Amino acid sequence: MAYTDKIKPEMVFVEINKGGAETLAVSALHELVHWVSDPPLQGRRITAWGFLNDGLGEGLTQVVTEDIFEDQGITQYYKPVYSERVAVVRKLIERFDVGPFGDALFAGNVKSLQPLLDAYGAEGMQQIKTLATGNDSKKAIEYIDHHRGH
């Protein structure tokens, strides 16, 4: 529906009539979360993306988006295509707390995600990211649950 390119910088909305106003609102807020992610200045890639990749990065961005809607008392909106990725990120947040994820996304402190590497190793994190990117939350969550501390 939309994408943000912080390098150019631009935010582009496509198919804005698909899904109605609620879908557009979710897309717009999701893209704004990308827009203000570290670095907040445009013209540079999002700092945490190198660690999170698309699966966990889009999932985390959508978690923030959904939490903003919930905090504002807005609960009836179109569920996004990222719901599988959201499930994986919420499972990781359940295990490691939200702080390190927010610190990585908004302050650029990717080192705060070190506990994930400590728990799953580089290969394990790659597996989780690959499953999240493939929208396979069931297998990703099983992996998270059964590979604690390698």
Beta bridge partners of 10: 5
Mean pLDDT for 124-138 is 97
Per-residue pLDDT band at 43 (split at 50, 70, 90): confident
Instruction: Give the model's pLDDT for residue 14.
Output: 78
Q: Is the pLDDT of residue 149 over 60?
A: no
In this prediction, residue 110 carries a pLDDT of 95
Given a cut of 60, whether residue 150 has pLDDT beyond it is no
| Burial class (CB within 10 angstroms; exposed 0-12, middle 13-18, buried 19+) of 32 | middle
**Phi then psi dihedrals of residue 13, to 5 deg:** -110, 125
C-alpha count within 13 angstroms, C-beta hemisphere, residue 99: 5
pTM, two decimal places: 0.90
Of all residues in the chain, the percent with pLDDT exceeding 90 is 65
Residues 6+ apart with CB under 8 A from 144: 88, 91, 92, 95, 120, 128
Measured distance CA(147)–CA(139) in Å, rounded: 12
Residue 93, sorted as left (phi over 0), alpha (psi -120 to 50) or beta, turns out to be alpha
- Under DSSP, is residue 139 helix (H, G, I), strand (E, B) or coil? helix
